[in-house]
């Protein structure tokens, strides 16, 4: 018998159905009923973590407080639940194998032949139960990445089958997310792909307890009955998940469909309270009824794929709602910026955010965007590489150090205003060797950021190798770019700002990872507020 209840979320028919959002929405509903709930994601790929993946592959790499580089779904979990995730919340096949192979090398298997079953499956089962056994949660939701039937997913599905058996009835259930496509030629919704995917799951010995059906059209009662009969679930366990205008509507839609009620019933948990979603609804109300509108340019090099900057996009939604402002985020490809077109490309932007990134591609465009914001008094926020570009731009234009650069882009630069920390110079491995996770930061008294945070000691998450070079600090400060946040232990510069500018802030860390619905990030809230104020000021000036 286990005290913790387990919910497994699998996906069928196709990828990209939004398992992460469904898992987060269900978790929200359970949390709102008072259940301590967390979510973890198991990814079937062989990378040890997504840290070495190009954002074009799986979107943004999300970073937790404990420095885990994880799947972007963990961002949704934190944004919905306002509960911190950790290394234990994201496991990949690479990590599972790494750990089993390390145990084998240490002789822990006592001469046995090491196999997928039981060694890999045991490792998976152990990882699934780490959070449950911590005693911190009543319910653990485990999302299995990929689609059932994939070769890579098989050990995970087998582990789930074994765990369900071991946990016993009512202690573990399976929610299967599928697609019910609409064939316009036939004018109808089709249930066959779902039937097949439920069958594939059954071949592995798993019976879905609940079906969540993604659809672009309302699923009729008849179709629900048909799905129930042929997929062997009760009709009330067939849940429609219709396309929503915002992901933040999904918890309420799932509540209407009774996903939380049927889940509690299957887990034999009391269902005598209504979820308290007052704060959530208030956020939605503000999000959907903005009083003002601003346009903010997101200058990056992965802009073709909106998921590359997922947390930034979501942080703007939270900060927009907090200010009752509709924030239109306009993506600008940094590689397409040139001295000739910069005025045109920046036209209509009320604020400018220069995004994080790695490598040389597109950086000159980022420097140009910083200069445009600085010289035209446009509120500016630079995040990580964006902050580094702000420092480089200032060094080049204001200090006259024409070839100033980061040693990441030019190892021979005469003015390495951004460079490696001494202890990092000998590192050759790419995975997991950056400054990662939560670090303390002290904010300078009287600075803009201190005002924005309403506090002088903060903690923020990092993911970078290069740092502000303190050799240039004095020179920069004399010329007007002030280091206003630094690590109290190492003295590394974490924040720069220009006090003579209406709102110009560069941060070496990633504030976007910590913004949630319940707790919008102060830096984004302050930025959006400044963008609106500056826009109104300019409008008034042009009217006068």
Residues at the annotated binding site for Mg(2+)?
73, 143
Asked if 357 is part of the footprint of ligand GLN (rule: CB under 6 A), the reply reads yes
Element (H, E) at 12: none
Place of tokens 């509960």: 83
* Three-state secondary structure call for residue 400: coil
Query: Which candidate in 123, 393, 494, 512 is catalytic?
Result: 512
Asked if 463 is part of the footprint of ligand GLN (rule: CB under 6 A), the reply reads yes
Using CB under 6 A as the binding criterion, the count of chain residues that bind ligand GLN stands at: 10
Nearer to ligand GLN, 44 or 55 (CB): 55
Residue 119 a catalytic site member: no
Q: Which of 210, 204, 141, 157 is nearest to 44 (CA)?
A: 157
Of 204-212, 224-232, 290-298, 457-465, the window that binds ligand GLN (rule: CB under 6 A) is: 457-465
Q: What is the CB neighbour count within 10 angstroms for residue 29?
A: 24
Q: What is the smallest separation between the CB atom of 466 and ligand GLN, expressed in angstroms? A: 3
Specify which residues 215 forms β-bridges with.
242
Asked if 356 is part of the footprint of ligand GLN (rule: CB under 6 A), the reply reads yes
Exposure of 375 by Cβ count < 10 A (0-12 exposed, 13-18 middle, 19+ buried)?
exposed
Q: Tell me the CA distances in angstroms from 46 to 21, 70, 256, 524, one per residue in order.
A: 24, 13, 38, 35
Binding residues for CTP: 15, 150-152, 190-195, 226
Query: Which candidate in 384, 393, 467, 497 is catalytic?
Result: 384
Binding residues for L-glutamine: 56, 357, 385-388, 408, 465
Which ranges of 347-384 does DSSP label H, i.e. alpha helix?
Answer: 363-375
Asked if 465 is part of the footprint of ligand GLN (rule: CB under 6 A), the reply reads yes
The contact mask relative to ligand GLN for 383-402 (x = CB under 6 A, - = no) is: -xx-----------------
Q: Tell me the CA distances in angstroms from 373 to 394, 423, 500, one per residue in order.
A: 12, 34, 13
Binding residues for UTP: 15, 190-195, 226
Q: Which of 283, 380, 466, 486 binds ligand GLN (CB under 6 A)?
A: 466
Structure token digits, residue 522: 């102060």
Q: Which of 243, 239, 283 is nearest to 261 (CA)?
A: 239
Which residues in the 22-41 window bind ligand GLN by CB under 6 A? none
Binding residues: 15-21, 56, 73, 143, 150-152, 190-195, 226, 244, 357, 385-388, 408, 465
Q: What is the smallest separation between the CB atom of 360 and ligand GLN, expressed in angstroms? A: 10
Asked if 199 is part of the footprint of ligand GLN (rule: CB under 6 A), the reply reads no
Q: Tell me the CA distances in angstroms from 305 to 158, 246, 333, one per residue in order.
A: 33, 18, 11
Side-chain-facing half-sphere of 343: CA atoms under 13 Å: 1
Nearer to ligand GLN, 357 or 365 (CB): 357
- Burial state string for 283-321 with b = 16 or more CB within 10 A and e = fewer than 16: bbebbeeeeeebebbbbbbbbebeebbbbbbbbbbbbbb
Q: What is the smallest separation between the CB atom of 521 and ligand GLN, expressed in angstroms? A: 16
Residue 512 a catalytic site member: yes
In this structure, the dihedral spanned by the alpha carbons of residues 21, 25, 30 and 32, taken in order and rounded to 10 degrees, is 130
Which residues in the 395-454 window bind ligand GLN by CB under 6 A? 408
Place of tokens 């990882």: 127
Nearer to ligand GLN, 8 or 62 (CB): 62
Of 143-151, 335-343, 350-358, 370-378, the window that binds ligand GLN (rule: CB under 6 A) is: 350-358
Place of tokens 């005598």: 272
Q: What is the smallest separation between the CB atom of 437 and ligand GLN, expressed in angstroms? A: 13
Q: Which of 464, 514, 521, 529 binds ligand GLN (CB under 6 A)?
A: 464
Residue 292 a catalytic site member: no
Side-chain-facing half-sphere of 267: CA atoms under 13 Å: 27
Q: What is the smallest separation between the CB atom of 356 and ligand GLN, expressed in angstroms? A: 3
Q: What is the smallest separation between the CB atom of 408 and ligand GLN, expressed in angstroms? A: 5
The site for ligand GLN (CB under 6 A) is made up of 356-358, 384-385, 408, 463-466
Residues that are catalytic: 384, 510, 512
């Amino acid at each position: 018998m286990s005290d913790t209840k387990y919910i497994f979320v699998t996906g069928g028919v196709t990828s990209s159905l939004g398992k992460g959002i469904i898992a987060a929405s269900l978790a929200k509903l359970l949390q709102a009923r008072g259940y301590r709930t967390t979510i973890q994601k198991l990814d079937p790929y062989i990378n040890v973590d997504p840290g070495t993946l190009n954002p074009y592959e799986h979107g943004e790499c999300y970073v937790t407080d404990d420095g885990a580089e994880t799947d972007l779904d963990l961002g949704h979990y934190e944004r919905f639940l306002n509960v911190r995730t950790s290394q234990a919340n994201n496991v990949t096949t690479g990590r599972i194998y790494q750990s089993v192979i390390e145990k084998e090398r240490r002789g822990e298997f006592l001469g046995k032949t090491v196999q997928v079953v039981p060694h890999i499956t045991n490792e998976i089962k152990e990882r699934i139960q780490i959070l449950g056994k911590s005693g911190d949660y009543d319910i653990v939701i485990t999302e299995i990445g990929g689609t059932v039937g994939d070769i890579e997913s098989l050990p995970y599905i087998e582990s789930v089958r074994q765990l369900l058996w071991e946990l016993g009835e009512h202690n573990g259930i399976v929610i299967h997310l599928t697609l019910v496509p609409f064939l316009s030629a036939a004018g109808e919704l089709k249930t066959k792909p779902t039937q097949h995917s439920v069958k594939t799951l059954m071949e592995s010995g798993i019976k879905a307890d609940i079906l969540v059906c993604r659809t672009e059209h309302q699923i009729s009662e008849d179709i629900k009955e048909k799905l129930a009969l042929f997929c062997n679930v009760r009709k009330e366990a067939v849940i429609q998940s219709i396309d929503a205008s915002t992901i933040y509507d999904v918890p309420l839609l799932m509540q209407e469909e009774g996903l939380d009620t049927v889940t509690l019933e299957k887990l034999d948990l009391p269902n005598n309270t209504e979820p308290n979603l007052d704060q959530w609804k208030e956020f939605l109300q503000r999000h959907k009824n903005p009083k003002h509108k601003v346009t903010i340019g997101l200058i990056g090099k992965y802009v073709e794929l909106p998921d590359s900057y997922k947390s930034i996009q979501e942080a703007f939604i939270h900060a927009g709602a907090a200010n009752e402002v509709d924030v239109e985020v306009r993506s600008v490809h940094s590689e397409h910026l040139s001295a000739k077109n910069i005025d045109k490309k920046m036209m209509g932007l009320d604020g400018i955010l220069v995004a994080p990134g790695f490598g040389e591609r597109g950086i000159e465009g980022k420097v140009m965007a910083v200069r445009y914001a600085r010289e035209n008094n446009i509120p500016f926020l630079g995040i990580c590489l964006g902050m580094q570009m702000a420092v480089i731009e200032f060094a080049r234009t204001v200090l006259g150090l024409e070839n100033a650069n980061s040693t990441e882009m030019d190892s021979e630069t005469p003015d390495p205003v951004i460079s490696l920390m001494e202890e990092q110079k000998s590192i050759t491995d790419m995975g997991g060797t950056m400054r990662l996770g939560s670090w303390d930061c002290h904010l300078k008294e009287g600075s803009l950021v201190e005002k924005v945070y309403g506090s002088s000691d903060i903690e923020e998450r990092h993911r970078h190798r290069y740092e502000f070079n303190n050799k240039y600090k004095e020179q920069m400060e004399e010329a007007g770019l002030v280091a206003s946040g630094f690590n109290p232990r190492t003295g590394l510069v974490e924040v720069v700002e220009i006090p003579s500018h209406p709102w110009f802030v560069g941060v070496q860390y990633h504030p976007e990872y910590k913004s949630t619905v319940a707790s919008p990030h102060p830096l984004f809230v302050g930025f959006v507020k400044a963008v609106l104020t500056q826009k109104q000021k300019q409008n008034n000036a042009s009217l006068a």
